[in-house]
Amino acid sequence: MPAKLPRLKTGLIAATALVIVLALLPLIGAPESWLLYVFLFSIYLAMANMWNLLAGYSGLVSLCQPAFLGLAGYTMTIGTWVGVPWWAGLLGGAVVAGVFALLISVAVFRLSGIYFAIGTLVVPEALRMVFYLWRPVGGQMHGAGAGYMIKGIGGLSTDLFYWLALIVGVGSLFLMRYILKSNLGLGLAAIRDNERAAASSGVDVFKLKLYTFVIAAVVTGLAGAIYYLYQGYIEPSATFNVKWTMVLLLATVIGGIRSEEGPLLGTLVVVVLYFMLARYAGYSLFIQGVILIAIMLVSPQGIVGLLQRSRHYRRLAEVMKR
């Protein structure tokens, strides 16, 4: 235990220093490209952490995350059209996403396994069709379907959007740590190991899964609303899109599902891929799918699994030398 304390303090100091440096980037005149990288990294990280909480720790392979971020984004956008401040729209959008998750849980929680995944996959597509046909507020629409520009943000600096994204991204890390160390995390660990045994031991499986489902929806919705606030407009075809699901899958699986470090490492890879594949927009999803399958075949535990294996190998080598 004493040997671990200095390592823990060193890691905490290094992480704090890194966050401070990232927060100061806009103030020291960092290039816009750097700020965009960190912005996307923070947004993707928050969403990937929540999907890891669902799929990795709760056993809920949810494919309806685009629905949460889309609803939150539209709530914020529509709010600006009727006089609601953008910051209140962000909070309201997160609440709407959480309430929507609570409502659909009545239906989707009757399913399990692959049926749960398929059931949740239908939700974003249904919402996409709704927003194609529904015109929430009057005025000129932009883009496909009910696409709207966000009002009242013309005087806002992009630095503000950057800091909001950074807060959500870093906050998701602390939230994951808190959940996993709490009674909720202990219950999820029992469910992950053996759901039937956990239920027979008195663990309320339905309630714990519902909690994580709603928490993931709220944080995902908040991150999505910040993304569209930065973008300045929202439209259904890109919002309720499978590309968001692919981002979450890639970030979690590449990094290592069911690990705290996995989404962090995976999101870094996803952001790099995002800019590398920008010129191949028509084939981007196909290429990402191939990469996802390759990673699952080579290392089911992702980058974290590879690092753990190499660490064990080094320890074994040291023992052999002694």
Q: Average pLDDT, stretch 30-58?
A: 94
- What is the tally of structural domains in the chain? 2
Among candidates 99, 103, 116, which has minimal Cα distance to 58? 116
Ranges of H-type helices in 112-235 = 114-133, 158-181, 183-193, 195-200, 205-231
Mean pLDDT of the chain: 86
Q: Are residues 22 and 39 in the same domain?
A: no
Q: Are residues 227 and 178 in the same domain?
A: yes
d(CA 277, CA 269): 12
Lowest mean pLDDT among 39-43, 140-144, 316-320: 316-320
Instruction: Kindly tell me if the per-residue pLDDT of 314 is higher than 80.
Output: no
- Domain limits for position 4: 1-30
Q: Are residues 167 and 123 in the same domain?
A: yes
- Span 236-287, pLDDT tens digits: 988 999 889 989 988 999 998 888 889 999 999 999 888 888 777 677 778 8
Residue 1: what pLDDT? Answer: 46
Instruction: Kindly tell me if the per-residue pLDDT of 318 is higher than 80.
Output: no
Check if the beta carbon of residue 56 is closer than 8 Å to that of residue 48.
Answer: no
Instruction: Kindly tell me if the per-residue pLDDT of 146 is higher than 70.
Output: no
- Span 62-77, pLDDT tens digits: 999 999 999 999 999 9
Residue 140: what pLDDT? Answer: 55
Q: Are residues 173 and 185 in the same domain?
A: yes
- Span 171-213, pLDDT tens digits: 999 999 999 999 898 888 888 777 888 888 888 888 999 999 9
pTM above 0.85, yes or no: yes
Q: Are residues 219 and 232 in the same domain?
A: yes
Backbone angles phi, psi at 39, to 5 degrees: -60, -55
Q: Which amino acid is at 78?
A: I
Instruction: Kindly tell me if the per-residue pLDDT of 311 is higher than 80.
Output: no
Q: Which residues contact 114 (CB under 8 A, 6 or more apart)?
A: 61
Among candidates 170, 192, 168, 188, which has minimal Cα distance to 179? 188
Instruction: Kindly tell me if the per-residue pLDDT of 99 is higher than 50.
Output: yes
Q: Are residues 165 and 193 in the same domain?
A: yes
